[in-house]
Structures are given as structure tokens and as C-alpha cells.
Amino acid sequence: MIVDVHQHFGLTPVVSGAGISGLDDDRRQRLEFMDKWGIDQAFLLPSNASPSPDGLADRRESNSVIAKYVALQPDRFPAGMGTVHPADGQRGIDEISRCVETLGLRGIVWHHHFLGTPIDHPGMHAMLDRVEELNALAFIHIVAESALEAPWRLEILAEAHPQVTFVALDGFSSFSHATWITQIAKRQSNILFDTGMLASVAHQIRDFLEIIGPDRLLLGTDFHCPPQLFGSPFPLTEIRDNLDLSTAVSARVLGENALTLLDSSSRHSKNG
Ligand SMILES: [Zn+2]
């Protein structure tokens, strides 16, 4: 079972005029990609780069569309995430509740680089308190070269919210980052890491597995369409075919850890 925990939907203006009419085309292209590369399931994450002229109202609609998308084919899309802006305040916290309790989404994702705030924005703490109460997941991007998404900022949140399970996205996006997150992983046991934007040279997957073990690494491709940003899912082929990992370790990283993650969080709605 191969599970990709990091696929995005919604860069195109699904929330500002097109409704969900583009959803079928997206799903066709996405499933073609997944079938071609043997990806059985994917978690769907909204894009924080989507047009949002009306702020929280747009984010609410985007979250509803993600819920509709995963409900269409839960055997291929077992989990969707919602999103809010760290400065959405109490209304954002209420939206987190709606995402999880009403829409059946399994957590909240933030890409602070696109939201224009640092990961450790003061508004994040009350939001993570709500995520913890709901036993939902917190997906946070830490892409290389974004000062707003510097991994130390995530460590501040992880330390302040030890009961929240964080999934750090794009941590292997540079040599420096890969070294950094391996050190952070040793200190913060409540962070798992995906392979999105895996740098193709000296990416240190083997070092991470040797030091941290096989339970905290998740396959993530960062697939997105349209436009489709790449043709082949490099992290999948690297881990499955080229790193000479044991079958057991490979199975953990490529799917079992993702399913364990879902089991550990609460499912609040049968739609999820
Ligand atoms: Zn992403």
C-alpha cells in the first residue's frame, strides 16, 4: 500500500467562480498520475496560494470543496485537510472545529510562506489548542529558503504543544534542511516528516532513517495539478527502487506510517 500524504488541490480559482466544476478534470489527471506510479491513496491538502480576496470566507469554501473531493472517492483519498490563516482569530478557530467535526477533515495545513506570516505567529497557539482538543493533525510546511518557515519556528510550536502530532512538509528540500530536521526530530518526538520537495542530491534519507528510525518518515510527493509541476514522483522511486532499504522499512515509509497516523487521530464524521 503506497500512501502519499502530501498532494495539493486548489491553486486554480476553484473558490472564486469555477465552483467545483474543475474537480472532475483534476481528479482524472490526479488518478492518472497515481495509477501510473502505483500510488494507492493520497491525502488532499488545500493550497494557501489560492486566490482568497474574501479571506476566511474563501478559505471556508476551499475547505468545503476539499471535503467534497475526498468524499467522492474515499478509497483513493482517505483524508483531507482544511486550512485557516493564523490571523483569522476566533473565527478561524471555529472554522477548525467545522473542518474536523462537520466536514470530517482530519487536520489543518498551513503554508506560512504563502500566508505571509511566520510559522510561530502568535495566533497559532490557540489554533493548535483547538487542534489538540479535536485530536486532529497539524501539517506545516518548512520549505528551504523561506525564513518564515524556518524549522526552528516549527520546533517552538512542537515544544509548546507536545500533545499535537505535527507533520512537517518539505523538510528534505535542501541538504542543510535535511541535517537540521534530523536534529530536531531527535528532540521533538511529536513531529513526523514527509519527503515532499526531496532534494535530488545528498538528501540524507538514509541518515534520517538510521538516526530517527523508520516510524517518522512519510511519503509525500507534493503533487499538484493543474498545472502539474513534475512528471515523476522522485521520492517514491528513490525510496522504493533505489535506496536499498529493507522491504519492512520501505513499507513503513511508503504507506504504513501514514495509515498509523490516521488511526491515531480522531475521525469525527463519516464523510472524512
Ligand atoms: Zn505542500
**Percentage of residues in the chain with pLDDT exceeding 90?**
85
User: Average pLDDT for residues 246-257, to the nearest whole number?
Assistant: 98
How far does the centroid of ligand 1 lie from the alpha carbon of residue 6, in Å?
6
Q: How far is CA 130 from the centre of its chain?
A: 18
How far, CA to CA in Å, does 47 sit from each of 10, 198, 253, 266?
Answer: 5, 19, 24, 23
Q: What's the CA-to-centroid distance between 7 and ligand 1, angstroms?
A: 7
Amino acid type, 34: M
Helix (H, G, I), strand (E, B) or coil at 174: coil
19 CA to middle of ligand 1, Å?
A: 22
Centroid of ligand 1 to alpha carbon of 98 (angstroms):
22
What average pLDDT does this structure show over 126-154? 97
Strand order in the sheet with 41-46: 217-218, 191-194, 165-169, 137-141, 107-110, 79-82, 41-46, 3-9, 223-224
Read off the pTM: 0.94
- Tell me how far the alpha carbon of residue 197 lies from the centroid of ligand 1, in angstroms: 9
pLDDT at 18: 46
Q: Report the share of the chain in percent with pLDDT over 70.
A: 94
What average pLDDT does the chain have? 93
**Contact assessment for residue 219 and residue 194, using Cβ atoms and an 8 Å cutoff:** yes
How far apart are alpha carbons 148 and 203 in whole angstroms?
A: 22
CA of residue 47 to ligand 1 center, whole Å: 7
Give distance in angstroms: CA of 110 to centre of ligand 1: 9
- Mean pLDDT along residues 46-73: 92
Cα-to-centroid distance, 157 and ligand 1 (Å): 19
HSE, CB side, 13 Å, CA atoms: give it for residue 66.
37
- For residue 67, the model assigns a pLDDT of 96
Element (H, E) at 24: helix 23-37
CA 66 to ligand 1 centroid distance, Å: 15
Average pLDDT over residues 160-183: 96
**Rounded Cα distance, 140 and 132, in Å:** 15
Q: Pull the grid cell for residue 233.
A: 514522483
Q: Residue 247 CB: number of other CB atoms within 10 A?
A: 7
Q: What's the pLDDT band for 270 if we cut at 50, 70, 90? A: low
Determine contact, residues 59/20, Cβ cutoff 8 Å.
Answer: no
Report the pLDDT value the prediction gives residue 17, as an integer from 0 to 100: 46
Helix (H) or strand (E) holding 79: strand 79-82
The C-alpha torsion from 226 through 105 and 259 to 114, rounded to 10°, is 50
At residue 266, the pLDDT reads 86
Average pLDDT value for residue range 26-53: 94
- Compute, in angstroms, the gap from residue 167 CA to the centroid of ligand 1: 11
Residue 43 has pLDDT above 80, yes or no: yes
pLDDT band of 136, cuts 50, 70, 90: very high
Ligand 1 centroid to Cα of residue 141, in Å, is: 6
State mean pLDDT over 126-141: 98
Rounded distance from Cα 187 to ligand 1 centre (Å): 24
In degrees to the nearest 10, what's the CA dihedral of 179, 183, 210, 194? Answer: -70
